[in-house]
């Protein structure tokens, strides 16, 4: 309940601005329309994203880091920039406007002419057929439409997308030793475990702090969802994890929050061996393919 008190505050604030008054001395420009707040929110998000692209372009040009590090830093920044969207917008159309603006821009940044500038932040990772950033934007838009005015159910999938997915890639690059092959390329066991740990905290901490669930329920939900989403991330291809993670994250979260503790324990008992089996099968398939080359 504490998490939703901002609605009462925001409503009171808006009503105080929109309330008609008989005071003829009051300046007319003092009473803004609520649409203006949505446009200001759109402008704020676009300014942050522009600054993020400019900063990462400079970072890549000066320090020449691994291309995937730059891309994941972009994803982290994008995720954190859109995290306040439920507080900024009181309708779905501003989110759709953001998608209509950012998706074509991100596509344009992949063109040859722009690759040497801001486009280098998106490209140069050897995955030209990946449209991860486009799926990212699309996933966020669909998530906002699904969650409506529920910040908790919006924020947790965004944290998963921004932090857990990035942790998997960055840990895999730095410490990955055991590789397995998926439809879209190679991934690592170490990266999958990093996703598991990061996803657990991205789910458990918000539920513990901002929901009415018991601590044991938040623990079981976080364990269950982090395992299931680790499998989703492991088998996703060509950047589709940026779409699957927020959508599946919301669906699983929404369903599990209504489960009893007994049902959650039962689901967890089934999911743990299934997750282990999935990763082991992927590793074995990779070894078999490599052996026949």
Least confident of 105-119, 218-232, 256-270: 105-119
Which tokens hold the place of 208?
Answer: 């513990």
Q: How many CA atoms lie within 13 A of 139 on its CB side?
A: 29
Mean pLDDT of the region 27-43: 70
Mean pLDDT of the region 195-222: 97
How many residues are there in the chain? 293
pLDDT class for 110, splitting at 50, 70, 90? confident
The residue that leads in pLDDT, 167 or 133, is: 167
The residue that leads in pLDDT, 238 or 256, is: 256
Tens of pLDDT, residue by residue over 16-29, are: 444 444 444 444 44
Res 61 pLDDT > 80: yes
pLDDT of residue 20: 41
pLDDT of residue 179: 86
pLDDT class for 14, splitting at 50, 70, 90? very low
**Residue 288 class from Cβ within 10 Å (0-12 exposed, 13-18 middle, 19+ buried)?**
exposed
Report d(CA 251, CA 255) in Å as an integer.
6
Report d(CA 74, CA 209) in Å as an integer.
27
How much of the chain exceeds pLDDT 90, in percent? 52
The residue that leads in pLDDT, 179 or 222, is: 222
pLDDT of residue 28: 42
Task: Write the secondary structure of 225-277 as one string of H (helix), E (strand) and C (coil).
Answer: HHHHHHHHHHHCCCCCHHHHHHHHHHHHHHHHCCCCHHHHHHHHHHHHHHHHH
Mean pLDDT, the chain, as a whole number?
Answer: 83
The residue that leads in pLDDT, 185 or 172, is: 172
The highest-confidence range among 8-22, 101-115, 171-185, 221-235, by mean pLDDT, is: 221-235
pLDDT of residue 198: 98
């Amino acid at each position: 309940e504490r998490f939703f008190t901002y609605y009462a505050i925001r409503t009171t604030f808006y009503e105080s601005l929109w309330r008609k008054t008989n005071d003829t001395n009051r300046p007319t420009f003092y009473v803004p329309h609520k649409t203006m707040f949505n446009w200001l929110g759109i402008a704020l998000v676009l300014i942050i994203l522009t600054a993020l692209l400019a900063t990462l372009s400079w970072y890549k040009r000066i320090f020449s880091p691994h291309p995937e590090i730059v891309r994941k830093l972009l994803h982290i920044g994008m995720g954190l920039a859109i995290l306040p969207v439920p507080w900024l917008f009181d309708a779905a159309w501003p989110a759709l406007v953001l998608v209509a603006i950012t998706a074509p821009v991100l596509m344009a940044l992949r063109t040859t002419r722009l690759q040497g500038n801001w486009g280098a932040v998106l490209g140069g990772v050897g995955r030209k057929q990946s449209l991860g950033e486009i799926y990212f934007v699309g996933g966020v838009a669909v998530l906002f439409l699904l969650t409506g005015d529920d910040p908790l159910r919006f924020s947790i999938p965004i944290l998963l997308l921004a932090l857990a997915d990035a942790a998997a890639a960055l840990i895999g690059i730095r410490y990955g030793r055991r590789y397995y092959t998926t439809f879209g390329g190679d991934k690592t066991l170490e990266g999958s475990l990093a996703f598991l740990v990061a996803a657990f905290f991205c789910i458990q901490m918000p539920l513990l702090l901002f929901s009415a669930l018991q601590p044991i329920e938040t623990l079981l939900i976080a364990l269950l969802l982090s395992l299931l989403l680790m499998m989703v991330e492991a088998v996703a291809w060509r950047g589709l994890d940026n779409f699957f993670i927020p959508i599946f994250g919301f669906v699983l979260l929404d369903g599990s929050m209504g489960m009893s503790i007994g049902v959650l324990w039962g689901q967890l008992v089934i999911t743990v061996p299934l997750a282990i089996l999935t990763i082991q099968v992927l590793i074995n398939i990779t070894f078999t393919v490599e052996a026949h080359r």
